[in-house]
């Protein structure tokens, strides 16, 4: 217990000394510390008078023409991108349509690979259903395109689906191929 009291008294004494040191250092009556003066040069340097420019003409100078403050012709356009993007060669409209059509799975197989599984006739518009080699089904109507060579469906009858493909052969001639998809026969 006596040891605790001694420690407490010692702490109190140390804190009082710290407060007194800070209080004595913060007096406002003290003059600021003097700044040492710069060393004086040993030799006296004679200052030379500045030369006076001769008058070339007695004419009165005109003020400079006003400068256009809003001339930004030398400034960079802040709305232009930093990197210039090269424009791709413009593709024709047919090429763009063909690329969009080829993105569909119905245009990734040959017409002969599709299997006709059903025909609906007698309504306002005949329809047929085919499956691709993967088993995915598609409903076809007259005028749709099918297959890699963009075969156009020309007719849907009770006998089958008629498709005409147009393509260029090796000689550059346009060839037409007539394909008929028929229903499988029942056994």
Count of Cβ atoms closer than 10 Å to residue 124 Cβ: 4
Beta bridge mates, 168 = 174
Say how many C-beta atoms besides its own lie within 10 A of residue 55's C-beta: 6
pLDDT digits (tens, 9 = 90+) for 116-129: 999 998 888 999 99
% the chain with pLDDT above 70: 70
Token pair of 46 as six digits? 């004679």
> In this predicted model, which residue has the larger pLDDT, 96 or 79?
79
**What angle (nearest 5°) sits at the alpha carbon of residue 155, between those of residues 96 and 174?**
50
Q: Which residue has the higher pLDDT, 126 or 61?
A: 126
Predicted confidence at residue 114, as pLDDT, reads 93
What is the arithmetic mean of pLDDT over 128-145?
92
| 156 has pLDDT over 70 | yes
Name the phi and psi angles at 52, rounded to 5: -95, 135
Structure tokens at 172: 């550059």
Edge-to-edge strand ranges of the sheet holding 127-131 = 115-120, 127-131, 137-141
| Distance in angstroms (rounded) separating the CA atoms of residues 90 and 96 | 10
pLDDT band at 171 (very low <50, low <70, confident <90, very high): confident
Lowest mean per-residue pLDDT among 63-77, 113-127, 146-160:
63-77
CATH number, span 104-182: 2.30.30.830
Q: Which is more confidently placed, 1 or 179?
A: 179
Q: Is the pLDDT of residue 108 over 60?
A: yes
- pLDDT tens-digit readout, 1-43: 677 788 888 888 888 877 777 766 655 555 666 666 666 655 6
- Give me the DSSP letters along 27-66: -SSSPPPPPPPPPPPSSPPPPPPPPPPPP---SPPPPPPP
102 pLDDT above the threshold of 70 = no
Q: Per the confidence metrics, is the pTM higher than 0.75?
A: no
Please give the Cα distance from 116 to 132 (Å, whole number): 9
Strands annotated E in 29-173: 115-120, 127-131, 137-141, 145-146, 151-156, 160-168
Chain mean pLDDT for the chain: 79
The more confident residue out of 57 and 9 is 9
How big is the chain by its Cα radius of gyration, in Å? Answer: 49
User: In degrees rounded to 5, what are phi and psi of residue 88?
Assistant: -70, 150
């Amino acid at each position: 217990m006596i040891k605790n009291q001694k420690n407490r008294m010692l702490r109190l004494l140390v804190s009082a000394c710290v407060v007194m040191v800070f209080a004595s250092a913060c007096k406002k009556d003290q003059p600021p510390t003097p700044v040492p003066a710069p060393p004086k040069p040993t030799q006296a340097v004679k200052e030379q008078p500045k030369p006076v420019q001769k008058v070339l003409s007695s004419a009165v100078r005109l003020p400079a023409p006003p400068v256009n403050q809003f001339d930004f012709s030398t400034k960079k356009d802040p709305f232009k991108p930093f990197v210039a993007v090269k424009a791709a060669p413009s593709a024709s409209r047919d090429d763009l349509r063909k690329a969009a059509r080829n993105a569909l799975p119905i245009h990734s197989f040959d017409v002969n690979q599709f299997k006709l599984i059903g025909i609906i006739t007698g309504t306002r518009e005949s329809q047929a259903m085919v499956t691709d080699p993967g088993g995915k089904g598609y409903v076809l109507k007259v005028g749709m395109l099918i297959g890699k060579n963009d075969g156009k469906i020309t007719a849907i009858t009770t006998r089958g689906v008629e498709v005409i493909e147009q393509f260029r052969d090796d000689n550059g001639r346009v060839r037409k191929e007539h394909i008929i998809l028929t229903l499988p026969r029942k056994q």
